[in-house]
């Protein structure tokens, strides 16, 4: 009886919704049945939402890994009405980004970034504008000293400021965010010729730009090997490569032995691709690596880092990341004990 009263109270919206659901359910299965001959396998889409209910919004990378276990390394998902091909594991991701560079060079149009960037910049632009912007950015970065001793000296100078900041905490707990200031300042030096003026600006910048091993945003593919579907969006999952069981002994643990041979010598691992591969790879890779090396080595020579009193390393929950564009842990505290 209650449903009848409800229906009589809102007849128009309910009728419209029912019509929409019926139309969508008539349309979607037919298109996916047709596509089933050429598209990789995947979960059956529901009307309107497609497979969105299968994605944990906070851990989309983990949801993708779960689906790959069921449907294989290459599968099809429906984000509402948008069909998406997901690539997982080193072989599939490398094959696409390295062997089909031209096909995977563009990014899809993402409305929120279109609103913010209007198609400009390097990250979200496509076509000739992207080519020209990337070329210009590359040569500007080189002219400003990236990859040369000029920038190395600025990084070492920044390290000395960071060491002083950390010493000022006198071994007491402080936020890991304190470290953000150093790489931010290097970018400021490149862009404006001087270090940042205000700390808050730095935090804002980092929230936008710091990327630690996140899944690829997505590429607009024009052709897909074997499928012939032009314009289908493709998501190569970097998380799935960085956790690929066939390339890493203990993918879910921090294990420096992944990069050492039996004699303890460094081994380069093909599947270590936090900066991605192909023509759209990270433009800051060499700069970021130089910063990581100099900052880490410099800090570890000066301090031993420990969890705050009363906490052990096991209490640090690194499994639930912050919900942002990039993948990073919840804010944590650390204590830096000076070596001298
Ligand atoms: C640890 C630090 C960093 C990591 C892990 C990282 C990772 C990434 C990843 C995964 C992408 C996407 C690549 C793709 O779509 O295939 C990317 C793109 C990009 N990164 Fe980084 N990045 C880092 C630091 C930097 C820095 C310091 C800069 C600038 C100096 C930078 C500039 C860019 C640019 C401009 C792009 C867009 C390239 C394009 O679309 O053509 N990144 N980065």
Residue 6, in any domain of the structure: no
In a shared domain, residues 46 and 178? no
Predicted pLDDT at 328? 82
- Sign of the Cα pseudo-torsion (152, 156, 157, 158, in order): positive
Predicted pLDDT at 229? 55
**Cβ of 288 less than 6 Å from ligand 1:** yes
Give the pLDDT confidence of 87-123 residue by residue, as tens digits.
999 999 999 999 999 999 999 888 888 999 888 999 9
CA of 48 to the centre of ligand 1 (A): 34
Choose between 315 and 240: higher pLDDT.
240
Give the pLDDT confidence of 128-139 residue by residue, as tens digits.
999 999 999 999
In a shared domain, residues 57 and 204? no
In a shared domain, residues 158 and 203? yes
Provide the domain count of the chain: 2
In a shared domain, residues 290 and 253? no
Predicted pLDDT at 223? 35
Phi/psi of residue 74, each to 5°?
A: -125, 120
Phi/psi of residue 227, each to 5°?
A: -105, -35
**Cβ of 212 less than 6 Å from ligand 1:** yes
In a shared domain, residues 157 and 46? no
Burial zone of 315 (CB within 10 Å; 0-12 exposed, 13-18 middle, 19+ buried): exposed
Phi/psi of residue 266, each to 5°?
A: -65, 135
User: Which residues fall within 8 angstroms of residue 183, CB to CB, at 6 or more apart?
Assistant: 206, 210, 288, 291, 295
- Per-residue tokens: 295: 């900052």
**Cβ of 290 less than 6 Å from ligand 1:** no
In a shared domain, residues 135 and 48? yes
Predicted pLDDT at 330? 84
**What is the best residue among 105, 275, 280, 295 to mutate for testing ligand 1's pocket, by most ligand atoms within 8 Å of CB?**
275
Question: Which residue range is the domain that position 158 belongs to?
Answer: 147-212+282-340
**Rounded mean pLDDT of 286-309?**
97
Flag the least confident range among 42-56, 153-167, 222-236, 249-263: 222-236
In a shared domain, residues 170 and 90? no
Bridge partners of residue 334, in order along the sequence: 174
Give the pLDDT confidence of 202-212 residue by residue, as tens digits.
333 333 333 33
Helix axes 199-209, 181-192, angle to 10 degrees: 90
Which candidate, 206, 165, 200, places its Cα nearest to that of 183? Answer: 206
CA of 210 to the centre of ligand 1 (A): 9
CA of 225 to the centre of ligand 1 (A): 26
Which residue, judged by its Cα, is nearest atom 35 of ligand 1? 283
CA of 285 to the centre of ligand 1 (A): 7
Distance CA 194, CA 26 (A): 60
Choose between 108 and 216: higher pLDDT.
108
**Rounded mean pLDDT of 314-324?**
78
Predicted pLDDT at 58? 82
Using the predicted structure, report yes or no on whether residue 197 has a pLDDT greater than 60.
Answer: no
Which residue, judged by its Cα, is nearest atom 16 of ligand 1? 281
Using the predicted structure, report yes or no on whether residue 47 has a pLDDT greater than 90.
Answer: yes
**What is the best residue among 284, 285, 326 to mutate for testing ligand 1's pocket, by most ligand atoms within 8 Å of CB?**
284
Predicted pLDDT at 317? 77
Predicted pLDDT at 70? 98
Which residue, judged by its Cα, is nearest atom 36 of ligand 1? 282
Residue 246, in any domain of the structure: yes
- Per-residue tokens: 243: 């956790």
Give the pLDDT confidence of 31-44 residue by residue, as tens digits.
454 555 589 999 99
**Cβ of 250 less than 6 Å from ligand 1:** no
Q: Edge to edge, what strands does the sheet with 233-236 contain?
A: 74-79, 82-87, 233-236, 219-220
In a shared domain, residues 203 and 58? no
| pLDDT band, residue 21 (cuts 50/70/90) | low
Q: How far are the Cα atoms of 8, 30, 50, 79, 88 from residue 40, in angstroms, in the given order?
A: 45, 16, 16, 15, 13
Q: Mean pLDDT of all residues in the chain? A: 84
Using the predicted structure, report yes or no on whether residue 14 has a pLDDT greater than 90.
Answer: no
Phi/psi of residue 185, each to 5°?
A: -65, -35
- Residue 189 has, within 13 A of its CA and on its CB side, a CA count of 20
In a shared domain, residues 217 and 86? yes
Predicted pLDDT at 2? 57
User: Which residues fall within 8 angstroms of residue 106, CB to CB, at 6 or more apart?
Assistant: 126, 127, 130, 219, 220, 222
**Cβ of 284 less than 6 Å from ligand 1:** yes
Distance CA 177, CA 196 (A): 15
Residue 201, in any domain of the structure: yes
Using the predicted structure, report yes or no on whether residue 3 has a pLDDT greater than 50.
Answer: yes
| pLDDT band, residue 80 (cuts 50/70/90) | very high
Using the predicted structure, report yes or no on whether residue 30 has a pLDDT greater than 50.
Answer: no
By DSSP bridging, strand 82-87 and strand 233-236 are parallel
In a shared domain, residues 184 and 66? no
- Residue 176 has, within 13 A of its CA and on its CB side, a CA count of 13
**Rounded mean pLDDT of 148-166?**
95
């Amino acid at each position: 009886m209650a449903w009848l009263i409800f229906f009589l109270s809102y007849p128009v919206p309910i009728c419209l919704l029912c019509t929409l659901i019926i139309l969508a359910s008539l349309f979607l299965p037919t298109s996916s049945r047709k596509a089933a001959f050429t598209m990789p396998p995947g979960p059956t889409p529901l009307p309107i939402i497609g497979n969105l209910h299968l994605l944990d919004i906070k851990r989309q990378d983990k949801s993708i890994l779960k689906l790959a276990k069921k449907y294989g390394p290459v599968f099809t998902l429906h984000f509402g009405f948008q069909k998406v091909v997901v690539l997982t594991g080193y072989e599939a991701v490398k094959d696409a980004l390295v062997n089909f560079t031209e096909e995977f060079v563009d990014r899809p149009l993402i409305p929120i970034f279109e609103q913010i960037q209007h198609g400009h910049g390097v990250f979200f632009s496509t076509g000739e504008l992207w080519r020209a912007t990337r070329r210009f950015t590359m040569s500007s970065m080189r002219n400003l000293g990236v990859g040369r001793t000029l920038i190395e000296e600025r990084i070492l100078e920044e390290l000395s400021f960071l060491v002083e900041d950390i010493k000022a905490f006198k071994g007491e707990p402080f936020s890991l965010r304190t470290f953000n200031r150093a790489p931010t300042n290097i970018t400021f030096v490149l862009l404006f010729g001087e270090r940042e003026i205000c700390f808050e600006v730095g935090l804002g910048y980092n929230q936008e730009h710091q990327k630690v091993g996140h899944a690829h945003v997505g590429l607009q593919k024009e052709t897909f090997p074997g499928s012939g579907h032009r314009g289908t969006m493709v998501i190569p999952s970097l998380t799935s490569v960085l956790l690929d069981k066939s390339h890493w002994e203990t993918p879910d643990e921090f294990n420096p032995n992944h990069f050492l041979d039996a004699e303890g010598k460094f081994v380069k691992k093909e599947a270590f691709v936090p900066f991605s591969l192909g023509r759209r790879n990270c433009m800051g890779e060499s700069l970021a690596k130089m910063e990581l090396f100099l900052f880490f080595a410099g800090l570890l020579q000066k301090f031993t880092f420990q969890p705050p009193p009363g906490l052990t390393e096991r209490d640090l929950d690194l499994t639930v990341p912050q919900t942002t564009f990039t993948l990073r842990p919840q804010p944590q505290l650390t204590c830096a004990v000076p070596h001298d």
